[in-house]
Structure 1
Amino acid sequence: MTIHDTFTGAQFVTAILDMASEHGMVIEMGSDFDLYESYINSHRTHQPLGLPFDPKLHDMNEDSGFWIVGWNESGELVHTQAMRLFNLGGLALSDYLGQRFVDFPPTGLDLDLERSHYQPGPGAKRISGRACYHGELWVKGDDRYRGTGLPGLLARFALATCVLRWSPDHIFGFMPERYAFRGLAEREGYMHTDPGALAWYPKGSTTPLKGFMTYMGRDDLSHMISLCPREFMLSQAA
């Protein structure tokens, strides 16, 4: 990461923090995933902690992950998201997920893993090296945030923070097909998707929950942080 990227990225995340504050949201960050899990269990009871970030299953620390939460003026949790770093080395992400996609399930569902499957797209086949997984993204359905562009900017905040902290080769995540079709990936800042990447079958159902893989490379991330966050917010609110 260049000095210019570091300076630009710092400006980018500061601008988003200011905009979150303007909407009454205070951002907290950390790498203590036991604390994060306690926040989830106490405040986000409808959506359990995602398996990739469970500190009982993984060694989660400042070198391997971080979380972001947002609180309103009443001390209510209104936002979550998290990042986890993987060092794939020369292994393609498509090969890694071909064996380990079950480690990234949607939360709160009783799944038939035998019928569920992963279909690698061209993007996953090109991803290797230091790759970050982006998940846990949630913003409370509040009139204060609807139509403002803030939820998408908070996702970009996490992407930019990941760039500043780790300068990864790639960032990837998964998104339900129905949200991808509504343009959510673009609003979050993602410049590429692999459609049809995942099909999760709930037990007793013949209809799968389909998912896209979202991803960005180093050059994409550098371009993203060069854009003005406030202009993006205004365009979403128009």
Structure 2
Amino acid sequence: MTIQFPGNAAPFIATSRNILVSQGITLTIGTDFEEYRDIVAEERPMQKLGAPFDPDLHGLNRSNAFWLIGRSEDGELIHTQAAKRVRLSARPLSGYLLRQFRAFPPPLKGVDLARSRFRATPGTHKINGMAAYHGEFWVAPERGKYRGVGLAPVLGRTGMLEMMQRWDPDWIYGFILNVVAYKGFAARIGYLHLEPSVLKWVVEGRDAPIDTFLAYNSREDLEYLLDIPLSDVVPEAA
């Protein structure tokens, strides 16, 4: 089945391009994760490469994964995100994560994988078939320059549209730390479903575990989301 947008993606692409141009941002999409690893190591030292996109741990190539970066007019790295295809078939995400959740740790030192845990949420029982894992979402921290100016909806939806055009997945999912989720991050980048306490990570030197939300969209959610005019979610796009 191929996704059919009620209109089509052209209005979104045109409007998002105008927003990015107005901010002086250029997007690049690639599939060489050794190149991406080098970019992250050199230009995003404050957040290390996430394990799901480490080419030493996973066979990532043009058929099953991509990365997306944004640069300023000066060539400065101001945004990253990445996605990879996950074939669940008839097995739900809950069964997959029961065995594989340790492959999705937060990008922090000292994570105790043996003491961390996964809890199945209602969404993990529903998600199956062809899925896409969405991660590595980062925006440069200069608030008022790249954060808080309406870029998150554009960048999030751009990544989701790329996943749909490449793989037409039944579902897109990701994990969001509580501290970020409570600030409305998932809603801003375009996730319609959010479920708490899916992954709990024990980290050495921290008094309390780090808790995460599951964020996800179905194909139908994405059809609805990508048909909403950007002017409805980014006032500056009006």
Pairwise same-fold verdict (TM > 0.5): yes
Structure 2 CA distance, aligned partners of 1:62 and 1:198?
29
Corresponding residue for residue 64 of structure 1: 64
TM-score by length of 2: 0.93
The alpha carbon displacement at 1:17 in A equals 2.7
Q: Name the amino acid aligned to 2:86.
A: F
CA contact (8 A) 1:70 1:77 kept: yes
The alpha carbon displacement at 1:4 in A equals 4.2
Q: 1:132-211 maps to which residues of 2 (within 5 A)?
A: 132-142=132-142, 143-211=144-212
CA contact (8 A) 1:13 1:160 kept: no
The alpha carbon displacement at 1:3 in A equals 7.2
Q: Name the amino acid aligned to 1:39.
A: I
Q: 1:1-238 maps to which residues of 2 (within 5 A)?
A: 2=2, 4-5=4-5, 8-142=8-142, 143-234=144-235
User: Matched residue of 1:125: which SS?
Assistant: helix
Percent same amino acid among aligned pairs? 37
User: Matched residue of 1:107: which SS?
Assistant: coil
Q: Greater share of helix residues, 1 or 2?
A: 1
Gaps of 5+ in 1: none
Q: Name the amino acid aligned to 1:177.
A: N
Structure 2 CA distance, aligned partners of 1:171 and 1:70?
21
Structure 2 CA distance, aligned partners of 1:200 and 1:2?
37
CA contact (8 A) 1:40 1:48 kept: yes
CA contact (8 A) 2:163 2:169 kept: yes
- Deviations 1:101-134 (Å, cap 9, x if unpaired)? 1100110321111221111100010111110000
User: Matched residue of 1:113: which SS?
Assistant: strand
Gaps of 5+ in 2: none
Structure 2 CA distance, aligned partners of 1:49 and 1:137?
11
CA contact (8 A) 1:12 1:160 kept: no
Counterparts in 2 of 1:104 and 1:3: CA distance versus 1, 3 Å: closer
CA contact (8 A) 1:112 1:201 kept: yes
Structure 2 CA distance, aligned partners of 1:127 and 1:4?
20
- Deviations 1:162-218 (Å, cap 9, x if unpaired)? 111111000000001122122211111100012111111111433011100000101
User: Matched residue of 2:165: which SS?
Assistant: helix
Counterparts in 2 of 1:84 and 1:2: CA distance versus 1, 3 Å: closer
- Deviations 1:131-157 (Å, cap 9, x if unpaired)? 000000000022222322102320111
Counterparts in 2 of 1:218 and 1:199: CA distance versus 1, 3 Å: same
Structure 2 CA distance, aligned partners of 1:98 and 1:14?
41
Q: Which runs of 4+ in 1 moved over 4 A?
A: 1-4
TM-score by length of 1: 0.93
